[in-house]
């Protein structure tokens, strides 16, 4: 597949990531998906472990208007697909296939991935979803790894935040080697009803970051990466 570098990191260019990933799930093709936004690209400039995880991933999807802008400035036309929407479309398609296609939700505060799984099961009744929260350690974490190994989910969504989730997937994908693994950030918070996604107006006008800042002011320091990315995109 054609790739294009964004700050030295490979982005895979495709017209339809969703169909590509559904067929990878159906064919048991081992896949680590990274949905890369500008904040992650900037973090990877300093965090070599994260850069390694991105370089090793099988599919790096451009997520967020910053990365799309970067590509456009370099003559690469690419439609934007938000990571959360890509993940949602896969849950819907794979969930419909029933119990032979188990899905795994891992991450979020206690009870959140459970709420997210319930919300999805109401929507896609045939979906078979296992879940756990993202603050496990010691024996609990070992048991969870054993569960993943036993169930062999076909689609594994990991919402531990960046870079934790990318590193966790890189180091644990051997548990279910033929699955499609995706880092989904705070998606369980949104599906579980704990946080709200930015209204359409913000998404359509490249202002999702502003809504996030309003929801979580403590993110301001992290978000300084965005203007820095923009400057790099302009060069
Ligand atoms: N989280 C987790 N375990 C941790 C740290 C974070 O499960 O040890 C979860 C947290 O509850 C939240 C998500 O990871 O649901 C991070 O969401 P955020 O929107 O900050 O993701 P990012 O912007 O880093 O992708």
| Contact criterion met (CB below 8 Å) for 213 and 220 | yes
Query: Judging by beta carbons within 10 Å of its beta carbon (0-12, 13-18, 19+), is residue 176 exposed, middle or buried?
Result: buried
Q: DSSP class of residue 30?
A: -
Using the CB atoms, write b or e for 31-54: b if 16+ within 10 Å.
Answer: bbbbbbbbbbbbbbbebeebbebb
Task: Give the global pTM.
Answer: 0.96
Answer whether residue 13 is part of any domain: no
Per-residue pLDDT, 222? 87
Instruction: Note whether residue 19 is domain-resident.
Output: no
Residue whose CA lies nearest to ligand 1 atom number 8: 135
Phi and psi for 57 in degrees, rounded to 5? -65, 155
Please tell me the total count of domains within the chain. Answer: 1
> Looking at the domain assignment, is residue 2 inside a domain?
no
In a domain, 87, yes or no: yes
Q: Which residues contact 227 (CB under 8 A, 6 or more apart)?
A: none
Domain assignment present for 122: yes
CA distance 139 to 7: 39
pLDDT score at 134: 98
Q: Give me 33's structure tokens.
A: 């998906």
pLDDT at position 83 = 95
Task: Using the Cα atoms of residue 81, residue 116, residue 33 and residue 37 in order, give the sign of their dihedral.
Answer: positive
Q: What local confidence, expressed as pLDDT, does residue 141 receive?
A: 98
2 CA → ligand 1 middle, Å:
30
How far apart are the CA of 73 and the centre of ligand 1, in A?
A: 31
pLDDT tens, position by position, 23-76: 999 999 999 999 999 999 999 999 999 999 999 999 999 998 899 999 999 999
pLDDT tens by residue, 118-132: 999 999 999 999 999
- At 69, list the tokens: 């802008």
Q: What is the mean pLDDT of the chain?
A: 96
CA–CA–CA angle 56, 57, 61 (5° rounding): 140
Q: Residue 35's domain spans which residues? A: 24-234
Predicted pLDDT of residue 64: 87
Residue 187 Cα to ligand 1 midpoint, Å, equals 9
Ligand 1 atom at minimum distance from 160 CA:
14
Query: Cα–Cα distance between 119 and 180 in angstroms, integer?
Result: 22
Q: Is residue 124 in some structural domain?
A: yes
Report which secondary-structure segment, H or E, holds 6.
strand 3-6
pLDDT at 79: 83
Mean pLDDT over residues 196-204, rounded? 89
């Amino acid at each position: 597949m054609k790739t294009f570098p964004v700050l030295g990191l490979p982005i895979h260019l495709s017209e339809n990531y969703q169909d590509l990933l559904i067929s990878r799930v159906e064919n048991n093709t081992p896949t680590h998906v990274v949905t890369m936004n500008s904040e992650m690209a900037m973090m990877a400039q300093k965090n070599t472990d994260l850069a390694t995880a991105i370089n090793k991933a099988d599919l790096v999807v451009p997520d967020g208007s910053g990365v799309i802008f970067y590509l456009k400035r370099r003559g690469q036309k690419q439609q934007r697909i938000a990571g959360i929407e890509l993940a949602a479309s896969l849950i819907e398609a794979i969930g419909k296939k029933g119990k032979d296609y188990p899905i795994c939700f891992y991450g979020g505060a206690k009870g959140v991935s459970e709420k997210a799984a319930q919300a999805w099961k109401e929507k896609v009744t045939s979906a078979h979803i296992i879940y756990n929260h993202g603050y496990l350690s010691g024996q609990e974490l070992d048991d969870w790894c054993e569960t993943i190994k036993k169930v062999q989910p076909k689609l594994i969504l990991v919402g531990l935040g960046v870079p934790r989730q990318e590193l966790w997937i890189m180091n644990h994908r051997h548990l279910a080697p033929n699955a499609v693994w995706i880092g989904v950030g705070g998606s369980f918070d949104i599906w579980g009803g704990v946080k709200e996604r930015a209204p359409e107006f913000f998404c359509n006008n490249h202002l999702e970051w502003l809504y996030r800042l309003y929801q979580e002011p403590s993110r301001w320091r992290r978000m300084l990466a965005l203007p820095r990315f923009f400057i790099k995109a302009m060069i």
